[in-house]
Amino acid sequence: MTKRNKIIYWIATIWLALGMVVTGMGQIVKMKQGAGGEEYIRHLGYPIYLMTILGVWKILGVVAVLVPKYPLIKEWAYAGFFFLMSGAIISHLIVGDLKEIFGSALLLILTLLSWYYRPADRKINLGVQ
């Protein structure tokens, strides 16, 4: 892995982790406003209890991505982040909140960058040469 790729990986991964932790904690404590807050969830038509589920999974996903080893769990975490953020973008588009997709789109891009540039020891080794 080149130094450039390692820098891209860690910058994307740290920003992804920060974004997921901040929004996840906000959802766990049921913030009224802000990204992923109760107002957003209600406006999008989702039940409030979903906030706790999403918040917990975001925190667990961050742990999975940051902890060394366990590449299969990392793949699941990245997939979860991808589906979560793409779902958020689609949800905002459906209700007409075009200006509200920026945060979700940024986290989606960071997810893709972190996944693409992850080091070999954080990838699943399928034995393919």
Concatenating the DSSP letter of every residue in 54-74 gives HHHHHHHHHHHHHSSS-HHHH
Q: What is the pLDDT of residue 108?
A: 98
Residues 6+ away with beta carbon under 8 Å from 127: none
pLDDT 10s digit of each residue in the chain, 129 long?
799 999 999 999 999 999 999 999 999 988 876 666 788 888 889 999 999 999 999 999 999 999 998 999 999 999 999 999 999 999 999 999 888 899 999 999 999 999 999 998 888 877 665
